[in-house]
Amino acid sequence: MRIGWIGLGNMGAPMSGRLAAAGHDVHGYDLVDEAREAAAALGVTVEDTVAATVAGADVVVTMLPHHDIVRAVLDGPDGVLAHAEPGAVVIDSSTIDIDAARSLHASVSAAGFRFLDAPVSGGISGAAAGTLTFMVGGDVAVLEEVRPVIEVMAGRIFHTGGPGNGQAAKLTNNMMLGITLAATAEGAVLAERLGLDARTFWEIAQVSSGDSWALRTWYPVPGVVETAAVNRDFTGGFATALLRKDLQLALAAGESTATALPFATAVRDRMDQLVELGLADRDCSVLVKLVGGELSSPARDEAVAATLSQETTA
């Protein structure tokens, strides 16, 4: 298939590169030179405009940081819907607001295209390995049509239901990730201060009740887990600002469904603190530095403690 790909960042480049390696004719677009170069090195034909990227495409994929950007790229006068072939399937693999995803289903369909909200889980390592989990909301018949494309990038594909349900699954999952990341960071620091060998404790936890994806993949002690961002000074990976965004979206969903989410609130507040300290672009596992006391903001620490105490009591 000919595929147009918008957004060639940390996730978009390896995902589109896998499609190119599988023999698809992949054309990509991004504003950032480094992202363009990374995708080109993986076999993606990099274009200078959205119009050129989506011309003649059977499938168009967007992987972007925020729903406002997704909407602008799709609906804008120079956007996807103005230049793609009628009937093309548009897949948004960004993580965005649930209501925004449902609105895009309506607007994209009204313009004569098919739409799936299909966010992913598995991180940069999963994108490179083609083992991502896709959570797909929308018409199951459309999913089956493009399944051969998605399978190149996926370890698992789940049809989660109607429009927006892919985002609902992703935001709930990422909320849980944030909470387990915080628990992993606290456990790593406590284990070290109790005199436990980091690798030995990690091996125990991953086969015991303390196991989690965050522990197995992101354990924040140098030299224990090869894929952990701590080994590269927390560069790359899942940015603090993005986890903060996802937690905020999950909290908004909690508010709309009258669901109390005190632990997610506490972790969101920790992400706020990291952003305030200038670490928005660092991998979110830099949280371990807050837990360990290497970074500190007393006022924020007190606010986080107060929030968790009040909401768990409530």
- Identify the bridge partners of residue 158 per DSSP, sorted by sequence position: 135
Taking the C-alpha atoms of residue 251 and residue 273, their distance in angstroms, rounded to an integer, is: 17
In this structure, the dihedral spanned by the alpha carbons of residues 130, 224, 238 and 175, taken in order and rounded to 10 degrees, is 100
Is 289 one of the catalytic residues? no
Question: Where do we find the tokens 């929308």?
Answer: 138
Q: Buried b vs exposed e over 15-28: b needs ≥16 C-beta within 10 Å?
A: bbbbbbebebebbb
Active site residue: 36, 71, 170, 282, which one? Answer: 170
Q: Buried b vs exposed e over 238-270: b needs ≥16 C-beta within 10 Å?
A: bbbbbbbbbbbbbbebbeeeeeebbbbbbbbbb
Q: CA quadruple 180, 182, 188, 191: dihedral positive or negative? A: negative
Q: Phi and psi of 117, rounded to 5°?
A: -90, 120
The three-state secondary structure class of 252 is helix
Taking the C-alpha atoms of residue 34 and residue 6, their distance in angstroms, rounded to an integer, is: 15
Active-site residue list: 170
